[in-house]
């Protein structure tokens, strides 16, 4: 299988390098361009549709490689999953491309995403049907009335989470690539060949696109790319729910910790400010880092580092779960939540003034000094 992995990665990367310039010309010709405004960082008209280059490189490489996978490696369940993955991904790309060209209504896009997620669930029977119970060597089966809406919510939620962080050159592609790389490592640890192959092909496509998308970008991925990568992450991270006694329910959340946490803090921030949840603002992670004085590239690299940190936590948690060291899950969750809260307060993700944890730590630090001064 190793030659197929290498060929898949290299072929996808080469295709993305070759196709992205063609997609750029096509985007300009059809008018799929991004015009600067008050919320956006770029100052000139930029072609969108870049995600089409990622998608084409991925799907062409995958369709060519699949017949060469050794017989017996792919089970009927694997083929069913890959079919749902490719068909659902294609539909997501279509709606994303239409949005890049015609700026579709947000509610319409949301309803279409729900329809695609429902197609995956009902048409291919892909669902979260059980979860691993932390700290116990057991799992819990989920009834259909729970598993079906949970799976649809997961697919739609993760798909849009990637879309929300797509605010700087190379940001969404890089963060998605790190998450895909994390899932690849996990799939290798678990011996899941189909998922490992899909991850490497997708990773090659993303890296090839990044040559044109990293600052200063020559093309944006647009909703075509962000929705497609979000859908891919949603589907591939379901792996965490499908390995019973190996990975607990928390693992998929850790893998995509950056987009999910940014989305969560955005919801909290808008609620506190009494704004609609879906209203756009400039309070996302990348906006806050830019306000602190970091350059465009520095901001992107900092967020890459945060995404890599989450990836390492996910791999550690997975390895520990495989060895039934369930206490590690608790430690990982505590570390993740602490750093999330501290980071959010430092950069002002929720509020520029409300910093409960930091203020508490400062008070604890000041009290001993005050007591000594009285003596």
Q: Count of domains in the chain? A: 1
Residue among 340, 354, 42, 7 at smallest CA distance from 171: 42
What residues contact residue 47 under an 8 Å CB cut-off, 6+ apart?
A: 24, 27, 28, 32, 33, 34, 219, 220
CB 38 within 8 A of CB 177: no
What are 84-138's pLDDT values in tens digits? 999 999 999 999 999 999 999 989 999 999 999 999 999 998 887 755 555 555 5
b/e burial code for range 292-301 (CB count within 10 A of at least 16 → b): eebebeebbe
The confidence score (pLDDT) of residue 93 equals 97
In a domain, 374, yes or no: no
Chain segment 67-97, per-residue pLDDT in tens: 988 888 888 888 999 999 999 999 999 999 9
Residue 17: CA count within 13 A, CB half-sphere: 10
In terms of Cβ atoms closer than 10 Å to its own Cβ (0-12, 13-18, 19+), residue 76 is exposed
Let me know if 334 is exposed, middle or buried by CB neighbors in 10 A (0-12, 13-18, 19+): exposed
Cβ contacts of residue 371 below 8 Å, gap of 6+?
none
Q: Do the domain assignments include residue 373?
A: no
Alpha carbon distance 41, 252 (integer Å): 31
Nearest to 167 by CA among 258, 277, 91, 95: 258
371, part of any domain: no
**Mean pLDDT over each residue of the chain, to the nearest integer:** 83
In a domain, 337, yes or no: yes
Within 10 Å of residue 123's Cβ, how many Cβ atoms? 14
Radius of gyration of the chain (CA): 21
For tokens 């700026």, what's the residue?
Answer: 103
372 within a domain of the structure (yes/no): no
Domain of 89? 2-363
Q: Is the four-CA dihedral 257, 258, 259, 265 of positive or negative sign?
A: positive
pLDDT of 246 = 41
pLDDT at residue 367 in the model:
56
Contact call for residues 179 and 256 (beta carbons, < 8 A): yes
pTM of the prediction?
0.85
- pLDDT for res 250: 67
CA nearest neighbour of 48 among 22, 21, 24: 24
Confirm whether 317 is domain-assigned: yes
The pLDDT score that the predictor gives to residue 321 is 64
For the chain, the straight-line distance linking the first and the last C-alpha, in angstroms and rounded, comes to 72
Q: What is the pLDDT of residue 142?
A: 65
Q: Is residue 369 part of a domain?
A: no
Q: How far is CA 58 from CA 26, 51, 130, 146, 207, in A?
A: 19, 11, 30, 32, 11
Which pLDDT belongs to residue 88?
Answer: 97
Spans of the chain below 50 pLDDT: 244-247, 371, 374-375
């Amino acid at each position: 299988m190793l030659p197929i992995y290498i060929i898949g990665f290299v072929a996808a990367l080469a295709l993305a390098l070759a196709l992205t310039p063609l997609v750029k010309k096509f985007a300009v010709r059809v008018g799929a361009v991004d015009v600067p405004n008050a919320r956006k960082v770029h100052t000139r008209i930029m072609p969108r549709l870049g995600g089409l280059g990622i998608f084409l490189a991925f799907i062409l490489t995958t369709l060519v490689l699949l017949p060469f996978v050794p017989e017996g490696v792919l089970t009927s369940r694997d083929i069913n999953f890959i079919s749902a993955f490719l068909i659902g991904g294609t539909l997501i790309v279509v709606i994303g491309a239409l949005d890049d060209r015609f700026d579709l209504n947000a509610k319409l896009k949301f309803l279409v995403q729900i329809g695609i997620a429902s197609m995956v669930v009902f048409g291919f029977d892909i669902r979260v049907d059980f979860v691993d119970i932390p700290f116990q060597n057991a799992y819990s089966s989920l009834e259909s009335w729970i598993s079906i809406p949970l799976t649809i919510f997961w697919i739609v939620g993760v798909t849009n989470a990637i879309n929300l962080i797509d605010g700087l050159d190379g940001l969404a592609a890089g963060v998605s690539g790190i998450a895909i790389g994390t899932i690849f490592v996990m799939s290798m640890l678990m011996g899941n060949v189909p998922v490992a192959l899909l991850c490497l092909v997708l990773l090659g496509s993303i890296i090839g696109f990044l040559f044109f998308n990293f600052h200063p970008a020559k093309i944006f991925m647009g909703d075509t790319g962000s929705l497609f990568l979000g859908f891919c992450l949603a589907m591939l991270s379901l792996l965490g729910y499908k390995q019973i006694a190996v990975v607990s329910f928390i693992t998929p959340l850790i893998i995509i910790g950056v987009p999910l946490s940014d989305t969560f803090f955005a919801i909290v921030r808008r609620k506190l400010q009494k704004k609609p949840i879906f209203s756009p603002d400039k309070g996302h992670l990348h906006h806050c880092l830019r306000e602190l004085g970091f350059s465009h590239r520095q901001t992107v690299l900092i967020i890459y580092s945060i995404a890599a940190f989450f990836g390492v936590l996910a791999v550690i948690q997975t390895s520990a779960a495989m060895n039934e060291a369930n206490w590690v899950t608790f430690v990982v969750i505590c570390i993740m939540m602490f750093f999330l809260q501290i980071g959010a307060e430092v950069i002002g993700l929720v509020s520029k003034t409300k910093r409960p944890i930091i203020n508490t730590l400062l008070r604890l630090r000041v009290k001993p000094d005050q007591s000594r001064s009285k003596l």
